[in-house]
């Protein structure tokens, strides 16, 4: 796995390319296999959805119908879903199988150099949204993980600390200012979130879309889906 692996958002259904060499490696039980030296911090069963956020609050989204296996490590977060169906949220497009993959299996990941912030919107079920910035566009790809309030808050704290430690300990990958280091030192601590709904993560690297179509394809008009509050695209909750 390359330290600066890209692309990140393969619309509408993946966070890593099906034909690259940087996606999650799975064992025979379809659990994520850590890389040499990679430390697993936690495993969860959560709902998963993907979003492309823009300043006009228009979003293209997908969601899997059931919980997936989520693994948090000191380098990334990975999810593996055994449901073979993908639901496109924005336009109610019929669910379709993911071509070129093992039947019934979908995967995705976010490496810790990418997230620019975490969001905890007031949704039911509770959700953690991991948001990234992208090159040459103001649209932001995001991964949403949903579950019980306690588990989602614990996951947010786990991700916050993992991202901060990853960036603080890799100066060759992330160039931090003194102010950014101070903020990340706070983020790496064990403190509770204390009602925070938006957590910035200094030192993020922008992600890159795989093709021109992902930048310029016209998305469908949003529909009345209540997975996120109205301010999702602009970062307001």
The pLDDT tens digits for 189-209 are 988 777 788 999 999 988 776
Predicted pLDDT of residue 224: 30
Backbone angles phi, psi at 52, to 5 degrees: -120, 110
State yes or no: pLDDT of 27 exceeds 60.
Answer: yes
Q: Tokens representing 102?
A: 């093992």
Element (DSSP H or E) covering residue 150: helix 149-168
Task: State the total domains in the chain.
Answer: 1
The pLDDT tens digits for 43-95 are 999 999 888 887 776 475 778 888 999 999 999 999 988 655 555 454 443 33
Does residue 26 sit within a domain?
A: no
Mean pLDDT of all residues in 18-23: 57
Task: Report the C-alpha gap between 81 and 102 in whole angstroms.
Answer: 11
Does residue 232 sit within a domain?
A: no
Predicted pLDDT of residue 83: 56
Burial of 193 (0-12, 13-18, 19+ CB in 10 A): middle
Q: Residue 88 belongs to a domain with what CATH number? A: 2.30.29.30
Q: Which residue has the higher pLDDT, 17 or 152?
A: 152
Q: How confident is the model at residue 221 (pLDDT cuts 50, 70, 90)?
A: very low
Q: Tokens representing 20?
A: 């690259």
Predicted pLDDT of residue 84: 52
Does residue 29 sit within a domain?
A: no
Q: How confident is the model at residue 146 (pLDDT cuts 50, 70, 90)?
A: very high
Q: Residue 97 to residues 22, 47, 108, 214: CA-CA distances in angstroms? A: 22, 18, 15, 19
Q: How confident is the model at residue 174 (pLDDT cuts 50, 70, 90)?
A: confident
State yes or no: pLDDT of 235 exceeds 50.
Answer: no
Does residue 23 sit within a domain?
A: no
Does residue 20 sit within a domain?
A: no
- Under DSSP, the state recorded for 18 is T
Instruction: Give the residue numbers spanning the domain of 51.
Output: 40-211
Does residue 28 sit within a domain?
A: no
Does residue 2 sit within a domain?
A: no
Name the least confident of 147-156, 180-189, 196-205, 210-219.
210-219
Please give the mean pLDDT across all residues of the chain: 73
Does residue 1 sit within a domain?
A: no
């Amino acid at each position: 796995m390359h330290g600066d692996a890209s692309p990140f958002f393969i619309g509408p259904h993946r966070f890593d390319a099906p034909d690259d060499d940087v996606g999650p490696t799975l064992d025979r039980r379809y659990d994520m296999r850590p890389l040499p030296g990679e430390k697993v911090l936690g495993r969860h069963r959560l709902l998963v959805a993907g979003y492309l956020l823009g300043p006009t609050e228009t979003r293209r989204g997908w969601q899997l119908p059931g919980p997936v296996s989520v693994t948090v490590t000191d380098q990334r977060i990975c999810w593996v879903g055994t449901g073979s169906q993908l639901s496109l949220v924005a336009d109610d497009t019929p669910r379709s199988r993911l071509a070129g993959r093992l039947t019934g299996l979908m995967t995705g990941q976010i490496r810790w150099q990418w997230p620019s912030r975490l969001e905890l919107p007031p949704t039911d079920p509770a959700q953690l949204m991991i948001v990234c910035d992208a090159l040459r566009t103001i649209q932001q790809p995001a991964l949403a993980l949903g579950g019980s309030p306690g588990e989602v808050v614990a996951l947010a704290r786990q991700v916050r600390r993992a991202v901060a430690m990853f960036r603080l300990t890799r100066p060759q990958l992330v160039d931090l200012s003194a102010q950014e280091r101070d903020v990340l030192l706070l983020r790496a601590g064990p403190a509770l979130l204390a009602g925070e709904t938006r957590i910035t993560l200094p030192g993020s690297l922008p992600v890159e879309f795989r093709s021109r179509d992902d930048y310029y394809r016209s998305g469908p008009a949003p529909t009345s889906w209540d997975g996120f509050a109205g301010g999702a695209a602009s970062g307001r909750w």
